A and B are shown apart, each in its own frame.
Chain A
């Protein structure tokens, strides 16, 4: 396994006696896109603020490319590109002046590089207009541009697709995939759009009440599920029980945990038993299902109602 580019080590934050983040340990690797999920108030933004130096951890450390953010702030943060929530720009200046402003704060960002980034995010036509005339989507693009100026090795994005149109979201996703795979950039994305995270990420980290509750790869599910719809239902469930399958009722049928090899045998037997078979199809558990399963739907509602 390659060396992690970012390490969160026992990261904790306490504000006025309230523990917002407890002992968070996450490693992020080059070329990997990690999604960061959690119900409202779980501590996502606090974690991201500590990773960008906006907040100081009460305990623990953030290591970026081997450098501690606490002790070598300038050098460590120079490898990070950040979009925290809505990218707030200087509205009274043009997009170009904004980029120039941020470029000056980094070493070795040339005028050519600024042009290159403007092209990448597709803002060539409006870049010299004031930011106050931009739509939310254009501001997001400008936000991405400022985060990419200095070719960061690590990109932190908080709600990046908020306000982008579908084409923009798609483009954005492709672009993140591209820089992750081609330039080996490690990306850390927090979002509420679970379907978005599912399409974009290789891994998800889930936190709740300030604690990491899960860190898993998305695409290789170990067990597989099939959705079986047949009539009469009683006979189907009897059959499934008889053959020791785990299953749950869903809609008109059942979601059954089974191996692919077992599918033909089951269908044949069901048909032979005179059961009317309507559908047998692979069932993908969506990230949303997994997320609700992990965090418990009730607790989200509780957090939301606060």
Chain B
């Protein structure tokens, strides 16, 4: 099995597209970092931080005095004002420029790209063997089809994991070099109390929750790719569902069935910051169970069709 994965890994890195994906992933981290740094150096903020906070409080007051504000807006500005007042009272300056943490929470948005690239790999890793005819060479070996498919699945996830690591490590390095650890304190309101934000654990939790969409999209693309032997169909369908997924869930939200389709659950980041699902009675453990069941179903279909198939390519 290890040798099979070694084979798949070798084939993967001999394709130019793989290198292009990694390069692109690094580029989308590097370019915004450069631009941000450039503007921070060019136009540094003026005045002491106390003055800035005072000004902010003044502008919040003016806004609140205005008439046409919704309840939500009101609550938001009051919260902001409370935080600013807390800063002045407790000598806790805000983060003036970007810091490592703020930069990393920005680049964690690039995880969508990690998912996209892993989906592309998952979609083509089986179907490309069919389209080039090499599947004949691959399956007339003393390795069962189940082993061959497993090696491809594991290689896909290994590649996805590598992209994840590249995202984290590159943005940590760039962030550290360009922005440093920062000097400010991040604050937030929890239950009417101003507290220091747990920046790092929030970030780690975000990385973890992003894994939900990553795993489901990859398995779905792998399924379509190995059943229909067409990588474009697999990529297209997976992308289509990830774009329209929210709409489909919204559309079905009146019916009970919405709880049992995976699209409702695959974006686990909806549970971040103590948030809940937009569908009633749906909690994180419930979502995880539904996703696990779908994952198993996708895998069973992938394996059974791949093993039964008559290869005529």
Contact B137 A78 (CB under 8 A): no
Contact A87 B137 (CB under 8 A): yes
Q: Is A136 an interface residue (CB 8 A)?
A: no
Q: Is A89 an interface residue (CB 8 A)?
A: yes
Chain A residues with CB below 8 A from B141, complex form = 77, 102, 105-106
Chain B residues with CB below 8 A from A102, complex form = 137, 141
Q: Is A49 an interface residue (CB 8 A)?
A: yes
Chain A residues with CB below 8 A from B308, complex form = 56
**How many Å lie between the Cα of A271 and that of B136 in the bound state?**
63
Contact A93 B142 (CB under 8 A): no
With A49-B312, A82-B140: A105-B14 Cβ-Cβ less than 8 Å: no
**How many Å lie between the Cα of A106 and that of B312 in the bound state?**
23
Q: Is B132 an interface residue (CB 8 A)?
A: yes
Q: Is B134 an interface residue (CB 8 A)?
A: yes
B143 is contacted by which of A15, A74, A89 (Cβ under 8 Å)?
A: A74
Contact A97 B137 (CB under 8 A): no
Contact A89 B134 (CB under 8 A): yes
With A49-B312, A87-B137: A74-B14 Cβ-Cβ less than 8 Å: no
Tally chain B residues at the interface, Cβ within 8 Å.
25
Q: Is B4 an interface residue (CB 8 A)?
A: yes
- Taking CB atoms and an 8 Å cut-off, the chain A residues in 79-120 that contact chain B are 80, 82, 84-93, 97, 100-102, 104-107
Contact A88 B139 (CB under 8 A): no
**How many Å lie between the Cα of A91 and that of B310 in the bound state?**
24
Q: What's the least CB distance linking A5 to chain B, in Å?
A: 17
Q: Is B304 an interface residue (CB 8 A)?
A: no
Q: What total of A-B pairs shows CB separation below 8 Å? A: 80
Contact B142 A75 (CB under 8 A): yes
**How many Å lie between the Cα of A80 and that of B14 in the bound state?**
28
Chain B residues with CB below 8 A from A175, complex form = none
Q: What's the least CB distance linking B16 to chain A, in Å?
A: 8
Contact A54 B142 (CB under 8 A): no
Chain B residues with CB below 8 A from A80, complex form = 140
Q: Residues 130-158 of chain B: 1 if any A CB is under 8 Å from the residue's CB, otherwise 0?
A: 00111011111111100000000000000
Q: Is A55 an interface residue (CB 8 A)?
A: yes
**How many Å lie between the Cα of A77 and that of B142 in the bound state?**
6
**How many Å lie between the Cα of A53 and that of B310 in the bound state?**
9
- Taking CB atoms and an 8 Å cut-off, the chain B residues in 230-270 that contact chain A are none
B14 is contacted by which of A52, A78, A82, A97 (Cβ under 8 Å)?
A: A97
- Taking CB atoms and an 8 Å cut-off, the chain B residues in 136-189 that contact chain A are 136-144
- Taking CB atoms and an 8 Å cut-off, the chain A residues in 99-154 that contact chain B are 100-102, 104-107, 146
> B14, B16, B140: which has the most chain A beta carbons within 10 Å?
B140
Q: Is B273 an interface residue (CB 8 A)?
A: no
**How many Å lie between the Cα of A66 and that of B134 in the bound state?**
28
Contact B132 A88 (CB under 8 A): yes
B137 is contacted by which of A91, A104, A146 (Cβ under 8 Å)?
A: A146
**How many Å lie between the Cα of A51 and that of B311 in the bound state?**
12
- Taking CB atoms and an 8 Å cut-off, the chain B residues in 2-18 that contact chain A are 3-4, 6-7, 10-11, 14-16
Contact A49 B310 (CB under 8 A): yes
A90 is contacted by which of B14, B142, B310, B312 (Cβ under 8 Å)?
A: B14
Q: What's the least CB distance linking B150 to chain A, in Å?
A: 14
Contact B11 A55 (CB under 8 A): no
Contact B140 A53 (CB under 8 A): yes
With A49-B311, A55-B310, A105-B3: A74-B11 Cβ-Cβ less than 8 Å: no
Q: Is A245 an interface residue (CB 8 A)?
A: no
Contact B144 A93 (CB under 8 A): no
Chain A residues with CB below 8 A from B311, complex form = 49, 54-55
Q: What's the least CB distance linking B24 to chain A, in Å?
A: 19
Contact B6 A54 (CB under 8 A): no
Contact B4 A93 (CB under 8 A): no
A93 is contacted by which of B3, B14, B136 (Cβ under 8 Å)?
A: B14
Closest chain A residue to B308, Cβ basis: A56
Contact B10 A101 (CB under 8 A): yes
**How many Å lie between the Cα of A105 and that of B151 in the bound state?**
12
Closest chain A residue to B139, Cβ basis: A54
> A53, A78, A97: which has the most chain B beta carbons within 10 Å?
A53
With A53-B139, A54-B136, A88-B134: A105-B144 Cβ-Cβ less than 8 Å: no
List 4 A-B pairs, minimum CB-CB distance, nearest first: A88-B133, A78-B142, A105-B141, A54-B311
A sample of 6 more A-B contacts (CB under 8 A), given A49-B312, A86-B133, A90-B11, is: A52-B136, A74-B142, A75-B142, A97-B10, A102-B141, A107-B142
Binding site for A on B (CB under 8 A): 3-4, 6-7, 10-11, 14-16, 132-134, 136-144, 308, 310-312
Binding site for B on A (CB under 8 A): 15, 49, 52-56, 73-75, 77-78, 80, 82, 84-93, 97, 100-102, 104-107, 146
Can you list 15 contacts pairing A with B, beta carbon distance less than 8 Å? Answer: A54-B140, A55-B310, A56-B310, A77-B142, A78-B142, A85-B133, A88-B133, A89-B137, A90-B14, A102-B137, A102-B141, A104-B3, A105-B3, A106-B141, A107-B142
